[in-house]
Amino acid sequence: MVQQRMPAEESNSKMANESNHLKKSKKPPRRDVVTDHRRQWRDCSYVYPVISRRAGGLSIGVNLSIDKRCNFGCLYCQIDRRIERPAMEVIIPQLRRELDAALTAATTGSLWQEDRFAETPADMRRINDIAFSGDGEPTRLETFDLAVQAAADAIHQHSLAGKVKIVVITNSSLLVSPQMRRALKILNEMNGEIWAKLDAGTEDFFQQVNRPAAGLNLANICDGIREASTACPLTIQTLFFRLDSQPPSRDEINAYIDRLRHIIDTGGRIRLVQLHTIARSPASSQVSTLPDDQLDAIAETVRQAIAPIPVKTYYGRNVPPQG
């Protein structure tokens, strides 16, 4: 059988159509919305929505440390605390307006039309919480309780009480401060949560890794966690990593477990322990991500030691240090 040859004009036209079809059907690379935690949204100073893997949905972040001040200088932090920055005031009425804007965008669905959030999976298009975190320690603000009240009011105004919670992510240094004691009352009324940092088991490792302000020690941190957790059950957040290419020592892990046990045995209420590692570029070149299998091994040791309290792991990424 003789195969008929297509006329040149028709052949060229067909190839052009196929080429155009491929161009149209080719999708841009998928954005990793879970790792995009930029702290700038629209023209807001304090509020930044993010898709959180730990929250399993939308978290409305609140950054009360726009001056990037903190009483810790953690080695693994993305922010270089050696840079001196002027103090900046937190304006509560402005925070209220920004919270209203973020919740309005999320509840009306306009947020998912923004390029930054357009790739969000359907099952994560839910508001999970308003989370106080940001570029420093949020509880350093002497009017921190007023900021928490602003979040509570915003939740009520949008008829989200019982659906959206308030989360305070803290380095645990000011859990017994006057502003935190006042905020605890609001958190309890809103079924809120505290996620408290505990990165070390020994004082030497605490000083080396967290580099706290003068006068802070690990005993203070653990006492604060215990006292605050008697009023509001909390989540422990711990970041393990390789320091100068070495994972945490067995002795350090055992000392960390002893700290957890002491908090529990003296009346502290821990609802969950989260173990994670580096997922964003740190300011220090001394630290690097802990491999998944090593994080899993530590988690299993901790899990057996504090059962039945659940232990969850969150893997990191091999990211280079800044600079």
- Ordered by start, the domain boundaries in the chain are 31-314
Instruction: Kindly tell me the burial class for residue 110, based on how many C-beta atoms sit within 10 Å of its own C-beta (0-12, 13-18, 19 or more).
Output: exposed
4-51, pLDDT tens digit by residue?
A: 444 444 444 444 444 444 343 334 334 566 556 677 888 999 999 999
Q: Which two tokens stand for residue 253?
A: 């892990």
Residues 272, 70: Cα–Cα separation, whole Å: 25
**Quick check: bond before 29 cis, omega within 30?**
no
Residues 41, 49: Cα–Cα separation, whole Å: 7
Cα-Cα-Cα-Cα dihedral sign, residues 41, 169, 76, 320 = negative
Per-residue pLDDT, 33: 61
**Whether 300 contacts 312, CB under 8 Å:** no
Cβ neighbors of 234 (< 8 A, separation 6 or more) are 193, 194, 195, 196, 225, 228, 269, 270, 271
Residues 97, 93: Cα–Cα separation, whole Å: 6
From the CA atom positions of the chain, what is the Rg in Å? 24
Q: Which two tokens stand for residue 129?
A: 């919480």
Cβ neighbors of 265 (< 8 A, separation 6 or more) are none
Per-residue pLDDT, 223: 97
Distance of CA 209 to the CA centre of its chain: 19
Per-residue pLDDT, 15: 43
Per-residue pLDDT, 303: 98
Stretches where the chain sits below pLDDT 70 are: 1-37, 320-323
Residues 262, 272: Cα–Cα separation, whole Å: 16
Q: Which two tokens stand for residue 62?
A: 């609140």
Per-residue pLDDT, 5: 41
Domain spanning 31-314, CATH architecture: Alpha-Beta Barrel (3.20)
Cβ neighbors of 228 (< 8 A, separation 6 or more) are 175, 176, 180, 184, 194, 196, 234
Per-residue pLDDT, 25: 37
Per-residue pLDDT, 279: 86
The pTM score is 0.85
Going from the C-alpha of 320 to that of each of 209, 210, 279, the distances in angstroms are: 18, 20, 10
Per-residue pLDDT, 38: 73
Residues 130, 165: Cα–Cα separation, whole Å: 6
